[in-house]
């Protein structure tokens, strides 16, 4: 069997694809790679929430699979939106890497921090309201260059991305218990066309059942919670224990809940409860960003 893997052209996307290719090769599956440009890669001058959120990194690859240009695509699972088009499935979830954020900085007490994530911004401001958190976009190399150029004292990156790229960067890991990660952060997922035989091949070679369970519990909570890409939300599950929080944009208020979940229905009930308790924060975030964007 020979399969075509679609991927973005960033160093991180290629590193993730290389991992999948290696594991498939060990299972006797030959692969080739096709690069696919996405809106998230070309529109780097604006925040993600203005161009469709994290899903902009996935849409073009979904379309390539549905057209038959490739058989599968490799993604950071946190980029995959809840609503999926017909004809594609999440065929495999790889063993999860670190879910944590990493504060890349040469300084002991940075003041100007780069991040375009509303979650990261709110959590940083909760930790220290005196910080100056400024937007930053681009791939890992671009953001690290801007840090080196002195435009920022620090930037926040996913620790898993640095590890996959083999980068040794000055800074420190942010405790995921305090800085609750984004849903599915640290996880690689493989999306394929909706073909049972293909999905079975990918699952046999790549699937980690524990990571699948935990990430799917996170996704069930987020689907019920809603809030869109503009609301600061963290959601992290490890071995069935889930912690989730919704914050105000300035990090001065939040609702945080924890639970041990035994399945999807329990996760959805948890998500509905948290949504009801944090409805004011979700509505406030939406209204503030709508006004800021001129909507």
> Residue 118, SS3?
helix
The size of the chain, in residues, is 295
Contact 46, 137 (CB under 8 A): yes
Contact 230, 118 (CB under 8 A): yes
Closest listed residue to residue 144, CA positions, set 159, 157, 158, 131: 157
The tokens describing 206, both together, are: 């790549």
Q: Measured between alpha carbons, how far is residue 154 from residues 110, 118, 226 in Å?
A: 6, 16, 30
**CA triple 21-26-27, angle to 5 deg:** 95
Whether 250 is a known active-site residue: answer no
| N- to C-terminal Cα separation, the chain | 50
Rounded distance between C-alpha atoms, residue 64 and residue 224, angstroms: 29
Residue from 62, 71, 79, 153 carrying the catalytic annotation: 79
Closest listed residue to residue 229, CA positions, set 292, 183, 279: 183
- The separation between CA 117 and the C-alpha centre of its own chain, rounded to angstroms, equals 10
Residues designated catalytic: 79
């Amino acid at each position: 069997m020979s399969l075509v893997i679609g991927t973005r052209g960033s160093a991180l996307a290629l590193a993730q694809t290389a991992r999948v290719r290696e594991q498939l090769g060990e299972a006797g599956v030959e692969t080739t790679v096709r690069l696919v440009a996405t809106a998230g890669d070309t529109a780097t001058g604006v925040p993600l929430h203005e161009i469709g959120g994290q899903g902009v990194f996935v849409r073009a690859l979904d379309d390539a699979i549905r057209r038959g240009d490739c058989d599968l695509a490799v993604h950071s699972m946190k980029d995959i939106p809840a609503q999926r088009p017909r004809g594609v499935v999440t065929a495999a979830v790889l063993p999860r890497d670190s879910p944590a954020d990493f504060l890349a900085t040469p300084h002991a007490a940075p003041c100007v921090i780069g991040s375009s994530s509303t979650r990261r911004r709110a959590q940083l401001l909760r930790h220290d309201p005196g910080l100056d958190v400024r937007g930053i976009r681009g791939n890992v190399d671009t953001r690290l260059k801007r840090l080196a150029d002195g435009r920022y004292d620090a930037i926040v990156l996913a620790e898993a991305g640095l590890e996959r790229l083999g980068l040794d960067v000055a800074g420190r890991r942010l405790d995921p218990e305090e800085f609750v990660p984004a849903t599915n952060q640290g996880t690689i997922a493989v999306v394929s066309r909706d073909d049972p035989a293909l999905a079975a091949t990918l699952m046999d070679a790549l699937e980690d059942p524990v990571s699948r369970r935990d990430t799917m519990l996170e996704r069930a909570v987020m689907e019920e919670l809603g809030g869109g890409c503009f609301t600061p939300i963290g959601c992290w599950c490890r071995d069935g224990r889930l912690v989730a929080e919704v914050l105000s944009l300035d990090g001065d208020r939040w609702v945080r809940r924890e639970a041990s979940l035994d399945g999807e229905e329990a996760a959805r009930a948890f998500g509905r409860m948290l949504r009801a308790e944090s409805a004011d924060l979700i509505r406030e975030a939406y209204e503030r960003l709508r006004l800021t964007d001129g909507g």
